[in-house]
Amino acid sequence: MSIDFSLTEDQKALREQVRRFAEERIRPGLEQRERDHEFPGDVMAEMGELGLLGMMIPEQYGGAGADVLTYAIAVEELARVCPSVAVTMSVTNSVCAWPIQTFGGDAVKDRVLPVLRDDLVFALGL
């Protein structure tokens, strides 16, 4: 039995789109933002517009409904340029969206998931 690890054409296209976005929108000014401890709110808003903040949110709530591999490809491409942006995107999708969509009631899902995918950035404190 063999396993095919090839990416689909959609996954390849997403990888290129996220790679280009990271190089063109995240890398410029990255060192200055890091020195100034500045959160890239404008970049996060653009990521929401691209659907990256809602990758794991089901389509019925306006998300991409992406599988885990497709999501991991996007995280990897962001992390190549800026791990902190990648973690913010990852936490928004996994630590926040996943429990809400898995355990939340319909009213909470209807209210939170569509906003989360667009312009609400989730924060986590441990």
Listing DSSP states for 59-91 in one string gives GGGTS----HHHHHHHHHHHHHH-HHHHHHHHH
CA 29 – CA 92 distance, rounded (Å): 23
In the predicted model, is pLDDT for residue 124 greater than 70?
no
**pLDDT for the residue 120:** 58
pTM for the whole structure: 0.86
Q: What is the distance between the alpha carbons of residues 90 and 88, in angstroms, rounded to a whole number?
A: 5
Residue 41 banded pLDDT, cuts 50, 70, 90: confident
Q: Which residue has the tokens 């312009």?
A: 119
Instruction: For 54-81, write each residue's pLDDT tens digit.
Output: 898 889 988 899 999 999 999 999 999 9
Fold exhibited by the domain 9-118: Butyryl-Coa Dehydrogenase, subunit A; domain 1 (1.10.540)
Domain boundaries, the chain: 9-118
